[in-house]
Chains A and B, each alone.
Chain A
Amino acid sequence: MDEKFDAIVIGAGPSGNAAAYTMAKAGLKVLQIERGEYPGSKNVQGAILYSKALEEIIPDFREDAPLERHLIEQQMWVLDDESYIGTTYRSAEFNQEPYNRYTIIRAQFDKWFSKRVQEAGALLVCETTVTNLLMDGNRVIGVQTDRENGAIYADVVVLADGVNSLLAKKAGFHAELEPKDVALAVKEIHFLPEETIQSRFNIGEGEGVVIEMAGKITQGMMGTGFLYTNKDSLTIGVGCMLSDFKQQKITPYELLEKMKAHPAIKPLLAGGEMKEYTAHLIPEGGYKAMPKLFGEGWMIVGDAGMFVNAVHREGSNLAMTTGRYAAEAVIDLKEKKLPMTAANLARYQGRLEDSFVMKDMKKYKNMPEIFHKNNHFFTTYPELLNRAAHTMLTVDGVDKKSKEREIRKSFKQRRSLFGLMGDAFKMWRAFE
């Protein structure tokens, strides 16, 4: 390929698709390179789609995007070995269009998004791995692929190559990821008849439920589990910090298997047929672990840039938004006939800083550290809460005041009064 492009986008996940779509729509000559057989074939997510970020890019996405169920109910479970205590929020408002959140299946969704990208005029090449960035001094001038005569040139390269971010690392833009900065998630998809899912979760056609879980299912590691309802399947998974996996030497699929056998979870999966097992890293290092996001002729978007809000389970929305902002920076420079220098591409960072993206990344900047140092949030408290509920709900002739005293005592014994106060303070600081 001898021709030169305005922009090359590496990767066809949410960030890459958002970037390629936005630039192609503005009339730029865009090449997008995907290493999978088709867009989505290398991508893994829970997956929940937040409408807003996609609406900003494709307002009419609901017309033909493959959406599984819109969510009308959110559950949060805190589990010990035998039981769970939790909250449920369900609202008829979530049943009013336009819907706010959907479950999706990424292989199908990414394929759809990519079709829109191509219709907008971007050229997509699949089954092609980018092996290196082509440099002229410290300036990125193109990419080297694993195809014959695989060098391709462009004014700017958008790195949307996912959490591992190998290309920026090879080019020396950032260091290797640390185990404390990524979570490892494993999940399975189990197929069940649509009606079974609806009766089991007390939902109607097209309606869905999310269950987020914390507690002993992560075996003392910092992490969470999840169960999502798709149209005719359930997604069940668990993710924990890689540093905890490393330290505690836990095998991820054994962790998942034990979680699936929990007495509160097992009946929800009963009779399902498992059709795929996946694993993926999630960049949860937060603001302090973010790499440099732009330079001479390059920008990083999505997971590659550590754009994940672990507390609020947001990632793909940040991916799409960062992809769009990067694209808008390029469009702006092209219109003004300005070169893709670091100084000019700084407007990408500017857009990020002015938006919810960086505001949220900064708000939770201390969160990873606080949880890393306080794993009793994932062990002691779930157990205490469940025991407290058990004590109060067991009618056994003991008066309620004594029961309250017993619960208070159990908390103080396990965490001490100072410990409890300290934990409350840390949580307040973390969410402040």
Chain B
Amino acid sequence: MIPVKIEEKLFQNRYRVDAGRPHINIINQETCRVECKTQECTVCCPAGCYTAEGNGQVVLITDGCLECGTCRIICSTHRNVDWEYPRGGYGILFKFG
């Protein structure tokens, strides 16, 4: 597999980050750490917003989010993602789409 730096891709995009007000939240950290063995969000998020930590914890940073909805729908066993759109005007701002 070719090594890909997602940061380099996202760097091309335009965002207006709503600092301190993430529009997506993990509902219960313990569910990810203890119950979820697969943690697909850490692999399938197209913006790499979810990171699997060594201790089983999942860390979410929404700054690069493309607002696609993958993480919410892929978490179909535990439904552990609280997913809203950002406040009006914030988030990804596609130049081309």
Q: Is B30 an interface residue (CB 8 A)?
A: no
A146 lies within 8 A of B4 (CB): no
**How far, in whole Å, are A176 and B89 apart by their CA atoms in the complex?**
25
Q: Which residues of B contact A126 (CB under 8 A)?
A: 88-89
A249 lies within 8 A of B66 (CB): no
B74 lies within 8 A of A129 (CB): no
B73 lies within 8 A of A182 (CB): yes
Q: Is B46 an interface residue (CB 8 A)?
A: yes
A36 lies within 8 A of B96 (CB): no
**How far, in whole Å, are A242 and B39 apart by their CA atoms in the complex?**
14
Among the stretches A136-144, A197-205, A275-283, A346-354, the one at the interface with B is A275-283
Q: B51 → chain A, closest Cβ, in Å?
A: 13
Closest to B11 in A: A277
A276 lies within 8 A of B93 (CB): no
Within 8 A of A (CB), among B79-97: 79, 83-89, 91-97
Closest to A273 in B: B12
Within 8 A of A (CB), among B37-74: 38, 40, 43-44, 46-48, 66-70, 72-74
Q: How many residues of B contact A (CB 8 A)?
A: 40
Q: Is A17 an interface residue (CB 8 A)?
A: no
Given the known inter-chain contacts A42-B92, A249-B38, please indicate yes or no for A178 contacting B10, CB distance below 8 A. no
**How far, in whole Å, are A128 and B83 apart by their CA atoms in the complex?**
17
Given the known inter-chain contacts A146-B87, A279-B47, please indicate yes or no for A105 contacting B96, CB distance below 8 A. yes
**How far, in whole Å, are A254 and B45 apart by their CA atoms in the complex?**
11
**How far, in whole Å, are A72 and B1 apart by their CA atoms in the complex?**
35
B76 lies within 8 A of A184 (CB): no
Q: Is A314 an interface residue (CB 8 A)?
A: no
Q: Which residues of A contact B76 (CB under 8 A)?
A: 176, 178-179, 246
Given the known inter-chain contacts A164-B69, A254-B2, A257-B4, please indicate yes or no for A44 contacting B94, CB distance below 8 A. yes
A36 lies within 8 A of B68 (CB): no
B94 lies within 8 A of A43 (CB): yes
Closest to A186 in B: B46
Closest to A41 in B: B93
A252 lies within 8 A of B44 (CB): yes
Q: Point out the residue from A45, A179, A275, A281 that lies within 8 Å of B95, measured CB to CB.
A: A275
A276 lies within 8 A of B94 (CB): yes
Q: A253 → chain B, closest Cβ, in Å?
A: 5
Q: Point out the residue from B9, B44, B48, B72 that lies within 8 Å of A250, measured CB to CB.
A: B44
For chain A, which range describes its interface: under 10, 10 to 19, 20 to 34, or 35 or more residues? 35 or more
Given the known inter-chain contacts A179-B73, A276-B12, A280-B68, please indicate yes or no for A249 contacting B88, CB distance below 8 A. no
Q: B41 → chain A, closest Cβ, in Å?
A: 10
**How far, in whole Å, are A146 and B64 apart by their CA atoms in the complex?**
22
**How far, in whole Å, are A145 and B92 apart by their CA atoms in the complex?**
19
Q: Point out the residue from B40, B86, B89 that lies within 8 Å of A249, measured CB to CB.
A: B40
Q: Is A102 an interface residue (CB 8 A)?
A: no
Q: Is B16 an interface residue (CB 8 A)?
A: yes
A184 lies within 8 A of B70 (CB): yes
**How far, in whole Å, are A7 and B1 apart by their CA atoms in the complex?**
51
**How far, in whole Å, are A131 and B86 apart by their CA atoms in the complex?**
10
Q: Is B36 an interface residue (CB 8 A)?
A: no
B88 lies within 8 A of A35 (CB): yes
- Residue of A128, A129, A249 with highest tally of chain B CB at under 10 A: A129
Given the known inter-chain contacts A186-B46, A279-B46, please indicate yes or no for A40 contacting B1, CB distance below 8 A. no
**How far, in whole Å, are A274 and B96 apart by their CA atoms in the complex?**
12
Q: B35 → chain A, closest Cβ, in Å?
A: 16
A246 lies within 8 A of B88 (CB): no
Q: Which residues of A contact B74 (CB under 8 A)?
A: 179, 242, 245-246
**How far, in whole Å, are A127 and B16 apart by their CA atoms in the complex?**
12
* Contact indicator per residue, chain A 46-71, by CB within 8 Å of chain B (1) or not (0): 01000000000000000000000000
9 contacts between A and B (CB under 8 A): A36-B93, A127-B89, A129-B88, A147-B88, A188-B9, A246-B74, A254-B1, A275-B96, A277-B9
A residues in contact (CB < 8 Å) with B: 35-37, 40-45, 47, 105-108, 110, 126-129, 131, 145-147, 163-164, 166, 176-179, 182, 184, 186, 188-189, 233, 242, 245-246, 249-254, 257-258, 261, 274-281
B residues in contact (CB < 8 Å) with A: 1-2, 4, 6, 9-10, 12-13, 16, 38, 40, 43-44, 46-48, 66-70, 72-74, 76, 79, 83-89, 91-97
Which 9 pairs, one residue from A and one from B, show the smallest C-beta to C-beta distance?
A127-B89, A279-B46, A106-B97, A277-B9, A127-B88, A128-B88, A107-B97, A252-B46, A279-B66
